[in-house]
C-alpha cells in the first residue's frame, strides 16, 4: 500500500498504463496472426494483403514509438513479419 498521495497516484497511473500496454500487445498478436493466415491463403487478394500488411507494420511501429514495446523489438518483429509474408507469397507463386 502506498504511504503518500504521490505514491498512490503513481500506482494508479501504473495500473492504467499496464492495461493499455496489455491491450496494445494483444491487438498486435491478433493482427500478426491474421496477416500471416491471409498470406498463407492461396486465394487471397494481393491488394487486400498489401493493405493489411501496411496496417500491421504501422501498428507495430506506433507501439514501438509509444513505448508499448521496445523500439528494437518492434523493428525486429516488423522485419520477421514482412520476411514471413514474402516467403509465403514466394512459395505460393512456385506452386502455381
Question: From CA 35, how far away is CA 95, in angstroms rounded?
Answer: 20
Q: For the domain that residue 61 is a member of, what is the CATH number?
A: 1.20.58.110
- Model pLDDT, residue 93: 66
User: What number of residues does the chain have?
Assistant: 96
Domain count of the fold of the chain = 1
Residue 95's pLDDT band (cuts 50, 70, 90)? low
**Parent domain of 72:** 5-95
Q: What is the pTM of this model?
A: 0.84
Q: Which residues contact 39 (CB under 8 A, 6 or more apart)?
A: 49, 53, 84, 85, 88, 89
pLDDT average, residue stretch 16-23: 96
Half-sphere exposure of 60 (CA within 13 A, CB side): 22
How far apart (Å, rounded) are the C-alpha atoms in residues 92 and 38?
A: 12
Distance, CA of 77 to CA of 82 (rounded, Å):
9
| Consecutive H or E run containing 41 | none
Give me the helices (H) in 3-70, please: 5-40, 46-66
Per-residue pLDDT band at 43 (split at 50, 70, 90): confident
Summarize the confidence of residues 38-66 as an average pLDDT: 94
Amino acid at each position: 500500500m502506498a504511504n503518500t498521495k504521490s505514491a498512490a497516484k503513481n500506482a494508479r497511473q501504473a495500473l492504467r498504463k499496464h492495461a493499455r500496454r496489455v491491450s496494445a500487445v494483444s491487438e498486435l498478436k491478433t493482427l500478426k496472426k491474421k496477416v500471416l493466415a491471409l498470406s498463407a491463403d492461396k486465394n487471397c487478394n494481393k491488394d487486400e494483403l498489401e493493405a493489411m500488411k501496411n496496417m500491421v507494420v504501422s501498428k507495430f511501429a506506433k507501439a514501438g514509438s509509444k513505448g508499448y514495446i521496445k523500439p528494437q523489438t518492434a523493428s525486429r518483429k516488423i522485419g520477421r513479419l514482412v520476411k514471413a509474408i514474402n516467403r509465403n507469397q514466394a512459395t505460393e507463386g512456385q506452386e502455381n
